[in-house]
Structure 1
Amino acid sequence: MPDLTKLPLSITSFSDFAANSLIYVDKTDLVAKLACFRNPFFLSRPRRFGKSTLVSTFHELFSNGLDKFQGLKIVADNLWNDKTYNVIHIDFSQIKENTENRPFEAKFYLLLQSAFKAADLTTEENKDVIAAFSATIGKADNGTLVLLIDEYDAPLTAVMGDKKEFEARRALFSEFFSTIKAYAGKFRFIFITGVTRYSNTSIFSAFNNIEDISFNPTYGAIVGYTQEELEHYFKDYLENAVMELNEDLGEEKYTYGSLIEALKLNYDGYSFDRRCRHHVYNPWSILNFLKNPQEGFQAYWLETGGAKPSLLVNYL
């Protein structure tokens, strides 16, 4: 029986993959291809598709170099030759909910302080969030910083039903991204993720040099598992699933081939590039199935809220 503890369920940190020898689906060739550019990028994907793991991979690469990438494509194919940088990593999903005793801007400021501290940067006290960001970034030498923003839209989606709060957050975000553009020369690389792009709320309007790669065929499989990746990295787990399912059913219903077809029917079919060159499996569903194949083909992504179209629900 394969070691189920090696399945990276709920793990998003690249360093955790390396430290615990978890199964890491190697997309570092695409990571290197993207990281070679110096313009800002935006990637939209649904929740639980691997955005945070991708952001963490960029963080590790830019902050610590190739030490933890041994055996991966980026090293094996000699795809990377760059120095390290101060990495500012902000995860906005940490402050999406309203709290009675602390306004959003105060939580934003504390999150920014934490991100700066982790990047060995210090913020000046008694400043608002934009002033603190400007003052800190302004001190850096050109091209010495990397900015990674995960789930930028989480605080907006969370309050879509509250027009006043949404507008306050939108205005703050608009000013924040305008400031990023104003200091663009300070950054070696900027990468932003979210579930959607608020194109009509002026958040990105001032930040008009950002490149949206959400439907770029080159990066259509940068998150999610392709068919080839599924069968390469999880073959032992797939074979175990055949055995477990047949044992539970008391008959030889499944073969390796029929299991693959069943997985395609239940968890495949997602395509995120405009030419539909790549189809990917939802990682959350696949990993849960491989851990508990005797439970059958459950709707894991839907049941945990990952597939809930909260943006649409809140909007309606």
Structure 2
Amino acid sequence: MVDLTGLPLSITSFSEFCERNKIYVDKTDLVAKLAQFDAPIFLSRPRRFGKSTLVSTFQELFSNGLDKFQNLKIVTENLWNDKTYKVIHIDFSQIKENTENRPFEDKFYLLLKSAFKEASLAITEERDVIAAFADTIAAEENGTLVLLIDEYDAPLTAVMGNKKEFEARRALFSEFFSTVKSRSSKFRFIFITGVTRYSNTSIFSAFNNIEDISFDPSYGALVGYTQEELEHYFKDYLENAVTKLNHDLGEDKYTYDSLIAALKLNYDGYSFDRRCRHHVYNPWSILNFLKKPQEGFLPYWLDTGGAKPSLLVNYLNTFIDKKVK
């Protein structure tokens, strides 16, 4: 009988993978390759595909070195010999909702304050959030910081139907990223993720050298599970699924090969590189299926909102007259 507690459902923290003995799909060779970049990096992927786990892996690597990476490619292939840094990790999905009792700029400041505290930085007390960020960064030595930004676009997508609030957040973000650019000498590494790239908001115009790897074939398998990874890391769980499905059906309908075919039909087919070299499975769907295969091939990603095109829905809603019945 397989140990279902090894499945990393709802786990995004790299250290938690290690401490709770969860299955970690090793992509640290690509992590090491990306970590050599001098220019800021941007990665766009849908929700629930592993962006936050990737960001957490960078955080652990730059903050604490290789202590928790033993037996992973980055160690076994001798891919890393860098020092540690102060890591500023900002997850903008934490402040995406619009609230009347607290302006977005105040929530932004509190988020920065928390991120700086975790990085052992004392944020400068300023009424202006951008000034506080700039002054705190300016006090550090060149090349001693790492900046990780997860779900940068979440606060924008959440208020797309509110033109005034969207513009206020867009302007603040534009100023924030311009400040990051102006203090770029302070950063050893900058990595930004999002669901989409807002090309007309001027957020990225400050970075004339940003590396957008979203459709780069070299990183098409950076998140999600490839076929090889699925069968390598989850083989026992796949065999368990065959047993559970057949027991539930009362017949030997599934073999290992027919199960793989069914998984491909339901959860495979995602390709994020312009040459379609890599196809990956959605991790959320795969992990939920392996946890309870007897329930069949349910659309887990869709049911939890991961596949909901929030950006498109919110955009279209801006053109809908709410008075129309």
Q: Which TM class, normalised by the smaller chain length?
A: over 0.9
CA drift at 1:114: 0.4
Paired residues in the alignment total 316
One-letter code of the match for 2:207?
A: F
Aligned counterpart, 1:126: 126
| C-alpha distance in 2 between matches for 1:292 and 1:208 | 47
Measured on the aligned residues, the alpha-carbon RMSD in Å equals 0.5
SS at 1:69's partner residue?
coil
> Deviation at 1:36?
1.3
Report how far residue 126 of structure 1 moved: 3.1
User: What is the TM-score with the length of structure 2 in the denominator?
Assistant: 0.97
Specify the alignment match of 2:107 in structure 1: 107
Q: For 1:234 and 1:212, how far apart are their aligned partners in 2?
A: 31
Correspondence 1:213-252 to 2 at 5 A = 213-252=213-252
For 1:180, what is the secondary structure of its paired residue? helix
* 2:168 is the counterpart of 1:168: yes
Give the 4+ runs in structure 1 shifted more than 3 A: none
| Mapping of residues 149-298 of structure 1, within 5 Å | 149-298=149-298
The one-letter amino acid of 1:313's match is V
Contact 2:42 2:212 in 1 (8 A): yes
Letter in 1 for 2:150: D
* 1:166 CA drift (Å): 0.1
Q: Contact 2:124 / 2:133 at 8 angstroms: preserved in 1?
A: no
Residue identity in the other structure for 2:31: V
Rounded Cα–Cα distance in structure 2 between residues aligned with 1:248 and 1:228:
28
Q: Deviations over 1:113-146 (max 9, x none)?
A: 0000100111121331100000000011110000
% identical equivalent positions: 84
- Which deviates further from its counterpart, 196-205 or 56-65? 196-205
Answer yes or no: is 1:40 the counterpart of 2:36.
no
> What one-letter code is carried by the residue in structure 2 that aligns with 1:218?
S
Amino acid paired to 1:131: A
Question: What runs of 5+ residues in structure 1 fail to find an aligned partner?
Answer: none
SS in 1 for 2:43: strand
Q: Where in structure 2 are there 5+ consecutive unaligned residues?
A: 317-325
> 2:85 is matched by which residue type in structure 1?
Y
Amino acid at match of 2:198: Y
Deviations 1:262-308 (A, max 9, x none): 00000000000011110000000000000000000000000000000
Counterpart of 1:67 in 2: which secondary structure?
coil
Q: TM-score, normalising length from structure 1?
A: 0.99
Cα distance in structure 1, aligned partners of 2:99 and 2:126: 22
How far apart in 1 are the matches of 2:159 and 2:207? 23
Distance 1:247 1:257 in 2: 17
Instruction: Return the alpha-carbon distance in structure 2 between the equivalents of residues 273 and 220 of structure 1.
Output: 5
- Distance between the aligned counterparts of 1:174 and 1:48, measured in 2? 26
Cα drift, residue 255 of structure 1: 0.2
Distance 2:190 2:144 in 1: 12
* Aligned counterparts, 1:299-310, within 5 A: 299-310=299-310
For residues 54 and 257 of structure 2, what CA distance do their matches in structure 1 show?
A: 30
> Which stretch of the first structure deviates more once superposed, 108-117 or 200-209?
200-209
Letter in 2 for 1:266: N
Which residue identity lines up with residue 22 of structure 2 in the other structure?
Answer: L
Cα deviations by residue, 1:41-98 (Å, 9 ceiling, x for unpaired): 0000000000000000000000000000001000000000000000000000000001
2: distance between equivalents of 1:209 and 1:126? 30
SS in structure 2 at match of 1:266: helix
Residue in 1 that maps onto 2:116: 116
The CA deviation at 1:207 is 1.9
1:280 match: secondary structure: coil
